[in-house]
Chain A
Amino acid sequence: MAKGKRTDNEKRNMKEPPRGEETLAAQKEKSAVQPEMQNDGEERKPQKNADGGRDSKESAGRGGCENKNGKTSDLQENVKSVKSVLTSEDILVFEFESENGKKFAAIFADGLIDKQLLGELVAKPLRDAPKDAGYGEIKLLLASPEVKDGTDTAGAVKEISGGNAVLYIDGVSDYIIIGVKSPPVRAVAEPPTQVAVHGPREGFIEDIKINLGLIRKRVKTEKLQVKTITTGKKSETAVAIVYIDGVCPEGLPEKIEKEINENKIDIVPDSSYVSQFITKRPRSLFKRCGTTEKPDIFCAKICEGRVGVVVDGSPICLTAPYMLVEDFQSVEDYYITSYRATTLRLLRIISLLIGIFLPALYIAAQLFKIQIIPFQLLLKISSSVAGLALSPSVEMFLTLFVLEVLNEASIRMPKYVGLALSVVGALVLGDTAVKAGIISTPAIIIVAFSAIGLYTVPNNVETTTTLRWLFLIIAGSLGPFGIVVLCGYIITYLVTEQDYGVPLVAPFAPLIKNDLYDGLVKADMYTLGTRPKVFNTKDKVRLKRLKTQKSSGGGKDK
């Protein structure tokens, strides 16, 4: 592309790269923190080629003629061929030449690379490039730690779209891919969905490289394997399959990779899409894939034998196979005493059951079996519901519906309006509705308690909320026996389900004694010395306590 044909935007941006106040060392450090996304950059080799830097890449000669493969060594022609594919205005071309007159062109996507880094690591070192320098020589002059060879235009387009810079050299048909990616990312922070009083506060962010770094930081073993694939025809989203070799069941990563590859979708904006790819029953009411925003939990899970899936652009990482019990295991359970953890876990389970069943039981009791309610309480309820225009089930439906609306609105509304929403929801709607005789106080108490109960297991709120509605409908229509039958149906459904050979309700059905120690109860660290049996891992031991030789009575160590 001729310089005169560039847009104003391009010209403005092109001036930016050489300027930079950061030192080269600092920038290198920065680039190390943000490694190349495609994970295919090769390390710089200090030694030169035998021919002094020239190599076969210069086969096209200096005259800009086309070689037999249809490739040209003319710089402008190469730039033009890339720009003919990447026609968007945010694809910039930074042309520069050395003091000796050697011409170069770096092509990149605006906003995805660090321009200062490009200037420091590419433009600055090439300032001294001799006019007749060959491909290999130029490659060695570059200060970037991540460079890779490229040959075809399609590959260049892919790299540029992926956030890398592509460097064309006048007189050379091939190009160099330079890892100077710096996409806009937020800082690593505590995830709002998994807040912990004890334990690490780091959370995953939307950048796959940083997320993989957070994992690698915790699991330093050479057996940690990361396999990167892309999914999404348009988005070409990078997906990393993470597992520990020898711990993860054999063939599981390949199965998960196959499941992901079998889905051809336009765009994968979030890991929730991938979670549906890797589950056998994506239409299931129940969650079928483990999710976490915390690297410590992710690492603990892959150390148990699961496979982790990190999706670029999503702070929520996946783990598979998934068991229902996982969501009852809170972040903190492993950082506090086992007694406290067990108490909290039981509390969570009871709260969840209350959250699901309380509205349904209340309705069933009022409509069909009033004896279930204690007499004194029954008197209170009777006085509250006396004169209500609505039937108990309609009243409960209405109250629950309002709760769902308030819940939805409070999530979507700007937080500054949240206070107003609370006032309107709690005071105006709640208080006034009771005073107006539309709904009763017990109904509000029950719905509020139910809502709180469900949020003790936040990862399963989608499922439990739906279950609460189902039980409410069946209790209002069929009464207590309807609740029992639906329970039976759900149990039968749950025990049937399994992904990758791991039953959804393990370790309860089938009962796996060893794994029960981290089920309803949480045993101490030493009791959990082996990995969950359900995964059938090769390496079964995760904690071995070496017996220390105690000193004899005389105080001397033997």
Chain B
Amino acid sequence: MKISVRQICFIMFAYTAATKLLLFPTVLSLDCGRDLLLPALINFVICGIVVWSLSYLSSRTEKTFFQLLEGTFGNVFARIIYALFAVMFMFAAVLPVFEQKQYVHAIFYDTTPSFTVFLPFFVFSVYAASKKFTNIGRCADICMPIFTVCIFAIFAMSFLEVEWGNLMPMFRTPANRIFGSSLGTAYSFVEPCWLLMFMGHYKYKKGDAAKITFSYAGGAAAVLLFLAVFYGIYGAITPSRTFALARISLFFPAIETMGRIDLILLLVMEIVMLFAVVLNIQLAVHCIASVIGVSGYGPVSLAVNLAIGAVVVFTSNMYQDVYTVYFKWLWIMFIAFAVAFPLLAWTLKRRRE
């Protein structure tokens, strides 16, 4: 087996949380104010159910998703579906890469650096995406403790400054805005698709479905707590605070005397974020390699990264427009792939080997 259940759990916890700590809280607070936890909670609950159902599906079959599709509809159909998944993963990667670029430029540099500063990301991404699931799992083994320590330290540095009253009264935002926000941020909730790709690549044992689901719930809890702390600190001005992760611990008293020690934590956490962002690219590469039937991922990885890099480079000044497209239109695609397809996987022919 290429990846272990433990590694999937780590991915579900650390990467789920790491991809939702930059612009996601700002967007939610902009839409829903102090009710920013609700749209996130809705998404987490829906995805949690899908995650549980997919992990449970693994107990019924040892086949990969590709093999299930192939067994039911034939090889060509399976390839088409995987090609569509590849496109979805590439779309899912573009916005986080954008976010990363903005975040890196804004937080790690005093003056606005040139675009070339971010280009090494793609060099790394080409290398990382050329590796297979074994490598993804092992990277998660390294990232999980790093993420846990860093997020715990950041929470510790920010808890003292939280005004919990800022979150009250809740449930004042109209339901349509909450659901609209929930749908608009669906691009950030592709975790069920990760699990769909890992299916058949790990050995299921009794209780693993619960482990994976609880790990996902752990990641969700960390994000929800983060949202609460973020809004608790900034209150009504939260929507104007981008890159929440870098803002949350700004008022830690020791920073005055010791400097921005939180920046060290952010730098370390950025390593985890890189791996989390690259995961979508890795899975896109995996899908394309399955479609064209190659075993070496190197050239595919190069091609995928060039495509994503080109989009990021040529639309670097159009972040707002790109985001609008994702928020207003692409949610349909993400919900179809992250919710509908995984649930439909139950209808595929399976036979426990």
Contacts and interface: CB of A to CB of B under 8 A. Distances in A.
**Which label, helix, strand, loop or mixed, suits the secondary structure of the A interface?**
helix
A374 B275 contact: no
Interface residues of B, number: 36
Contacts of A484: 267, 270-271, 274
A308 interface: no
Contacts of B109: 368-369, 479-481
A325 to B, nearest CB: 13
A479 B137 contact: no
Contacts of A505: 138, 142
Given A374-B259, A478-B117, A488 B138 contact: no
Interface stretch (A80-88, A276-284, A491-499, A532-540): A491-499
Interface string A342-375: 0000000000000000000100000011111111
Nearest to A496: B135
Contacts of A489: 123-124, 127-128
A480 B267 contact: yes
A472 to B, nearest CB: 16
Given A377-B259, A496-B131, A369 B108 contact: yes
Which of B108, B111, B135: most chain A Cβ within 10 A? B108
A503 interface: yes
B79 to A, nearest CB: 28
Interface string A368-412: 111111111110000000000000000000000000000000000
A479 B142 contact: no
Contacts of A479: 108-109, 113, 117
B267 A492 contact: no
Q: A interface, how many residues as a size bin?
A: 20 to 34
**Which label, helix, strand, loop or mixed, suits the secondary structure of the B interface?**
helix
Nearest to B143: A491
Given A480-B267, A485-B274, A495-B139, A368 B110 contact: yes
A361 B104 CA distance: 16
Contacts of B108: 368-369, 479-481
A492 B271 contact: no
Interface string B235-266: 00000000000000000000011111001100
A482 B141 CA distance: 23
B166 interface: no
Contacts of A509: 138-139, 141-142
15 contacts: A371-B110, A371-B259, A372-B260, A378-B259, A478-B117, A479-B109, A479-B113, A481-B120, A483-B267, A485-B121, A493-B127, A509-B138, A510-B7, A511-B6, A511-B141
Shortest 5 CB-CB contacts between residues of A and residues of B = A374-B259, A495-B138, A509-B138, A509-B141, A480-B108
Interface of B: 4, 6-7, 104, 108-111, 113, 117-118, 120-121, 123-124, 127-128, 131, 135, 137-139, 141-142, 256-260, 263-264, 267, 270-271, 274-275
